[in-house]
A and B are shown apart, each in its own frame.
Chain A
Amino acid sequence: MASAVPYDPYDDIDNNPFSEPQESNTNATETQRSETQGQNEHITVPNPQNETSNNERPAGAELLPERLSKKYQLVVKVTGLERIGTYTHKKENPTIQFDVSTNVPTFRKQQHRGVKKTMCEFQNLFAFLNGAIPETFVPALPLPSTNYGISNSEDYNKTVKNFQEWFDRIAADPILLRSEEIAFFIESDFNTYTPVGKMKSTPASGLKRKTLKQLAPPFDECLELAEFRPLVKSIHHLSREIQTKLSKLCKIRKTLSQDESAVGQGFKELAQDCSQMKSHGKFYMKFGKTLTAVGDIDSVMATLDAATLHDGLEWITNETYTVKEVLTNRHFLMRDLLQAQQNSKIRQEQARKLRAKRDVSPLKVDDAIRALKAATTIEHELTLKLRRVTANMLLQKIEWLEWYDRCLISSIKEYTMRKIEYERKKLSLLERIRSDVRAADESGGLSRLGRDANTGRSASVVTKPSQTAQGDSWTSDRRSHAFEPCVLKTEFDASLDSGGEKIPAGEDRYALDARSAAHLLGTSTF
């Protein structure tokens, strides 16, 4: 709140025909500020405006004094996530636990431990901030649950990580940081928060907003921002579209996986009834099982696709939506300003007319002057506000684009890594039955290639898996080093998976000898 009406160096610019200094206005804000400080029971709060005033100011600094000082810090550490209650409640409204450490004066204490907030409270806060602070792009809230499905560790980690990121972004924004509402939010009891502060000027909403949006946007001096909104809008739409495509993809992949499993099932059935090919029963069985397992992996992949890229895009979509709306709010602000300018012009005109007249009742003059004063004040305020908003948004835009890049790439990265992991699992699954397929019968398999000497069913050949710590056998390229342990882990996971799946049939095959058992126990840390 303290920041809502900033220090204004142009206060003394004379655009008033009556040339009266605007003392009252500044004083009013000044007093208001001191009042709020008094409320917060902070003994000495150096006014950010005061302390920065003696510094050399870069451009726009006078509009955005908060950006100059880095002295306030808010460190939030998300420590946990709770999902309780009914399924939808679990899914939609988890409780986030976090520790806070800060030196922002709006807070009553410096340390808050184990703060718990529900998703609803977060949403309330977000809605308020979004409306009350027109200058900044309030980061969109992360999704309450991921596509991993609730109640698993991946979902937990991911959600916690997302909230952490959200808090970090809040803390990184100096304007948001100084908002009292953040303090109210954090210091309120669990599940009791509702927005405290009053929105000074709620942006148009509902039908009015819709109608206003239909109008052509007012002329924007700031070309960058004028271009930014359509960009964000198309990002929003395209992300949406990608999301739908991706869900379609996932859906098809899931049905495909079912059908693959059906094929596997078909082979299993072949195994059961082929009385004349007893020797092949087991072989068909394994083949079928592997196909089924491959199908399962496909379905897992579909889920992961959704969980990684889809969720990432979801956040981007939400974010772009907020940004777009904030930019729309700026348009409204511009419109308001235009109106105010017009208004003050009319008032000025009136005053001038009055002055030209001979016989004027002093009452009328007073009225006119008051109206003019009010109009100019409003115009002035709006001009300042717009300038401030514009300046901040210009800065924010850069940050936001960076965030967008980061978010997009990180979700693509995650997607890719998951993809690689599971494609590798699939490969290792397939490779595992390779030797069986080849050694299916003495008279077939490798013997066709003239290598029957040492390939009996008793001593079936084991092909070496093509992916090892040393890299992949099919390429001489070295994998990036960061990925090396992942490869091994993948393989390990895959063998565990299939081991689980194949317990009924493949026991003899996947049985552990002492050594690999020891090895298994030794490395199963991830």
Chain B
Amino acid sequence: MNYDEELAAPVWDDANESSNVENGAELAQTFANLSTLQEHVDQDEDEQESLVKSAWNQEEEEPLAKQDLLASLAPQEDPLAEIAVPSAGATDGKGETLFGDVHTSPLEVSEQDSEAISATSGARDASSPVRKSVAKPQKLFSSARLRRHPLNEAQKADLFEDPLNSHSTGADDGEVFVEEPLDEEEGKKGSSKKDILQQMDAPLFRISPRKSLSATPLIKKIAGGDSQNVEAPLQPNDIVTETEQFEPPSSDLKIEVVDPLKVGDLTFAHVEYTIWTRSPRLNPQEVRVQRRYRDFRWLYRQLQNNHWGKIIPPPPEKQAVGRFKDDFIESRRLQMERMLTKIAQDKKFQDDVDFMMFLQSQNFSQDSKIREHLTGSNASSDSNDISEIHISPVVLLGHDDAVNVMKNGGLDEAQKSFMNISFGAPPKYTEPDGFFVEQKQGMDVLEEQLKQLSKSLEIVETQSNDLASVTEEFANTIKSLEALEVSRKASDTLANFAEVHMRIRDSLQRSAMQESLTLGVTIDEYTRALASVRAVFNQRSKLGYYLVIVENDMVKKKAQLERSTQKGPSNRVNALTKDLQVLQDRHNKIKAKWQEIGDTIRRELRKHDHEKMVDFRNNMEIFLESSIETQKECIELWETFYQNNL
């Protein structure tokens, strides 16, 4: 399957490339490549297929075209496919199709880009001698390619037999009928229709007595079908399936963060990243701007200010030392890209002025300051902790009132000068809603766990890298023993033994990288997102705090007014009435905001939880699938070694 190749190609070639930032970027691209749109998957297949199997004949190409047509005509649902699912063959090499998911993918990638990549990777396939020389690993993935050939019944019978269908053709010759191994091909073949009909007629669960004994004695649930089905990605993911509750994360903005570049002299050195945005909505449809890390922080703060109660996808954490190391820059790049992609996926953020400005402005330092002043976001005075928040009075009270408040030194400042005289302590805000309290505690626990988990993951990663390097040492020592050439046979065996170990080292390194790119990145991201969630809670409690203050003020003002009115009408009464009016207004505004933010937070939390769940699960799935593949590769290596040498 070419997903494999996509996934594997740059990594296999890693050794050949100088490891610079470029390298990591390519990896990310490969990663992104997995989430390419459906059409390109097909296209890739065609390209690669034609490269690898130039001997393809016409009859095969035609059905493929037909299949393309079919996909384009009925992209949403293929009822037949779903029927086919339960009887899908047990070809596990197909698990990787899971990566093809578009909507839940961490990275969005543009069409042109993926084309370019696929073209280059195709070219690499053809030209690079390295790939060819690595014959054994390729063999791992050869199964899918094999099945590309139209199989006649006899060949299929050779391949495997399907336990679910052996009954439908007759119990006595269970080996004769064999399920189509690749559902993908069903569209291509005339005979597939018959198969499908057969399957429709056949009961969903049918266990041949003989087969079930041999294969899975312990697993009770022999449910219908095999979950690996290549057909699935051929149907563009239906949005509705994602969730009924939340709008799917979809966006017409394609954002990439590319080309990290170190700029500035020694004292002001920083890394600038190019943000490459493409969207039909933008005026020039493609924009490239340079931004540095600080600007991402600014965006975060600004969005936080503009959308209270919304959980803003967090920027990466600050780091003082080692800022110019390649892998750090790469991981930061990835994190920032994910941040922007996630922001772009939210309908509200999509239309945000600041976000758009961030993506497009060529004069960012100026524009950002203007916007910051306008909104009173205080975005550039950014604290390290992303959970710390600043409530802009401008947004809270509207422009005019805000000016007054600012003059007095802010809402709580005004209070403080009062309070110092009247009370010892400022009024305290206690969260009236149990939901928030509970959530907050939950967050703390979760954060602890996630931190623990990510720490363990990190350790595992370093450990496996250690393991890889020691494996290499081991292999080298074996090689030197081999070099003694004590005897021919032993030398050969040792040489191959060392070779296997080198391969295993590669695979270890790859899986470590994979692990950190999937689970590691996700866990890290959600740890940071938790801070963002906390920021939202802080916003609410701060608003609540203001509410209490203003309420206090109001009570006091009311008392004053009452006292004054008892004395009789005067200027003072008028002024007080006016003040009270203002306070009343303020109170209402804050209260409204406070309630609004509560609602937003609830909604956001649900959404966040949902997204988190989906993300986690996706990554766990990817992790699992990739470790299964690694495992298979490992077994294959050892088996081959065993077969050839022992």
A265-291: contact bitstring with B at CB < 8 Å (1 yes, 0 no)?
111011001111100100100010000
Check: A91 CB closer than 8 A to any chain B CB: no
Check: B403 CB closer than 8 A to any chain A CB: no
For B97, give its contact among A263, A449, A513 (CB under 8 Å): A449
Check: B373 CB closer than 8 A to any chain A CB: no
A220-252: contact bitstring with B at CB < 8 Å (1 yes, 0 no)?
000000000001001100110110011011001
Given A431-B92, A441-B613, the answer on whether A448 and B214 have CB atoms closer than 8 Å is: no
Check: B98 CB closer than 8 A to any chain A CB: yes
Check: A492 CB closer than 8 A to any chain B CB: yes
Q: Could you say which residues of chain B place their CB within 8 Å of the CB of A242?
A: 474, 477-478, 481
Q: Could you say which residues of chain B place their CB within 8 Å of the CB of A499?
A: 218
Check: B142 CB closer than 8 A to any chain A CB: yes
Check: A198 CB closer than 8 A to any chain B CB: no
B92, A466: Cβ atoms closer than 8 Å: yes
B138-165: contact bitstring with A at CB < 8 Å (1 yes, 0 no)?
0111110010000000000001110100
Interface residues on B, range: 35 or more
Check: A84 CB closer than 8 A to any chain B CB: no
B638, A420: Cβ atoms closer than 8 Å: yes
Check: A409 CB closer than 8 A to any chain B CB: yes
- The answer for the CA separation of A409 and B482 in the assembled complex, in Å, is 12
Given A405-B487, A409-B493, the answer on whether A417 and B227 have CB atoms closer than 8 Å is: no
For B214, give its contact among A276, A451, A463, A469 (CB under 8 Å): A469
Q: How far is the CB of A256 from chain B (nearest CB, A)?
A: 4
- The answer for the CA separation of A253 and B212 in the assembled complex, in Å, is 36
- Shortest Cβ distance from A522 into B: residue: B213
Q: Could you say which residues of chain A place their CB within 8 Å of the CB of B229?
A: 449, 451
For A245, give its contact among B103, B215, B243, B474 (CB under 8 Å): B474
Which one of A167-175, A209-217, A360-368, A432-440 is at the interface?
A432-440
Interface residues on A, range: 35 or more
By secondary structure, the A interface counts as helix
B232, A446: Cβ atoms closer than 8 Å: yes
B227, A461: Cβ atoms closer than 8 Å: yes
Check: A495 CB closer than 8 A to any chain B CB: yes
Which one of A54-62, A154-162, A344-352, A422-430 is at the interface?
A422-430
By secondary structure, the B interface counts as helix
B224, A451: Cβ atoms closer than 8 Å: no
Q: Could you say which residues of chain A place their CB within 8 Å of the CB of B238?
A: 450
A475, B617: Cβ atoms closer than 8 Å: no
B223, A427: Cβ atoms closer than 8 Å: no
For B646, give its contact among A256, A280, A409 (CB under 8 Å): A409
A502-521: contact bitstring with B at CB < 8 Å (1 yes, 0 no)?
00000001111101100110
B227, A256: Cβ atoms closer than 8 Å: no
- If A287-B620, A512-B220 are given as contacts, then 18 extra A-B residue pairs at C-beta distance below 8 Å, sorted by A number, are A245-B474, A248-B470, A259-B456, A262-B460, A270-B449, A274-B446, A276-B609, A277-B609, A408-B493, A409-B489, A419-B638, A423-B631, A437-B620, A437-B624, A462-B221, A462-B223, A463-B227, A464-B226
A–B pairs, 12, beta carbons within 8 Å: A239-B481, A242-B477, A253-B467, A270-B450, A412-B646, A448-B98, A448-B232, A454-B223, A466-B92, A470-B161, A474-B140, A492-B217
Chain A residues engaging chain B, CB cutoff 8 angstroms? 231, 234-235, 238-239, 241-242, 245-246, 248-249, 252-253, 255-256, 259-260, 262-263, 265-267, 269-270, 273-277, 280, 283, 287, 294, 401, 404-405, 408-409, 412-413, 416-417, 419-420, 423-424, 426-427, 430-435, 437-441, 443-455, 459-470, 472-477, 479-480, 483, 488, 492, 495, 499, 509-513, 515-516, 519-520, 523
Chain B residues engaging chain A, CB cutoff 8 angstroms? 77-78, 81-82, 85-86, 90-93, 95, 97-98, 101, 103-104, 139-143, 146, 159-161, 163, 204, 212-229, 232-233, 235, 237-238, 241-244, 442, 445-446, 449-450, 452-453, 456-457, 459-460, 463-464, 466-467, 470-471, 473-474, 477-478, 480-481, 484, 486-487, 489-490, 493-494, 497, 609, 613-614, 617-618, 620-621, 624-625, 627-628, 631-632, 634-636, 638-639, 641-643, 645-646
The 9 residue pairs across chains A and B that have the minimum distance between CB atoms: A449-B232, A266-B453, A464-B90, A466-B92, A427-B631, A262-B456, A256-B463, A238-B481, A245-B474
